[in-house]
Amino acid sequence: MPDMRTKKVKPPPKKFEYVLNISKEHDEVTKRDYISFRFETTKEFLTFKYILKMENRQDGKDLFFNILGFSAPVGDLSSSGTAGYEFRFFDFKYTEYCVVIDKKDSDKSKFRLFVQRSKTEPVKVSHVSKKSFIEIKTENDS
């Protein structure tokens, strides 16, 4: 007799594991502009809104982000949602940066970031790795 159990339907795999939103922002407290790097998982977590654990460092015009994993939020309020992390880059120059994003020991994604004195397009991204686990967006992408 055929097995009549229903198969669990898995959602289709997402094209990217993470989304990185890059935008130029202004800090009202320090009255300084900064470049915001907002990382977010594309996966939604049902039990917690996890915190994305990351390391970052700057070496001249190279910015390195290392995705280490997740940590559970502090506190006992559980809420669902994506995991996120924001890095505020205050001491930027109007120049070209090479950004490298590393994920544990597996994937690496690279792109170029141009910080421009432009109201319409203050940050511009180019040379994004073809096969990337992270989608790079700027405030100009719709």
Contact 27, 88 (CB under 8 A): yes
- Residue 16 — pLDDT band, cuts 50, 70, 90? very high
What percent of the chain has a predicted confidence (pLDDT) above 90? 63
The least confident of 18-27, 103-112, 119-128 is 103-112
- Please give the average per-residue pLDDT across 52-74, as a whole number: 92
- Please give the average per-residue pLDDT across 83-109, as a whole number: 93
User: What is the residue type of 44?
Assistant: E
| Contacts of range 91-97, beta carbons closer than 8 Å, 24 or more positions apart | 92/33, 92/34, 92/35, 95/61, 96/61, 97/61, 97/62, 97/63
Q: Would the pLDDT of 39 be above 70?
A: yes
- Residue 95 — pLDDT band, cuts 50, 70, 90? very high
- Residue 126 — pLDDT band, cuts 50, 70, 90? very high
For residues 31 and 7, which has the higher predicted lDDT (pLDDT)? 31
Under 8 Å CB-to-CB from 110, ≥6 apart: which residues? 98, 99, 100, 101, 127, 128, 129
Closest CA to 66 of 56, 77, 76, 58: 56
Q: Would the pLDDT of 4 be above 70?
A: no
- Residue 142 — pLDDT band, cuts 50, 70, 90? low
What percent of the chain has a predicted confidence (pLDDT) above 70? 88
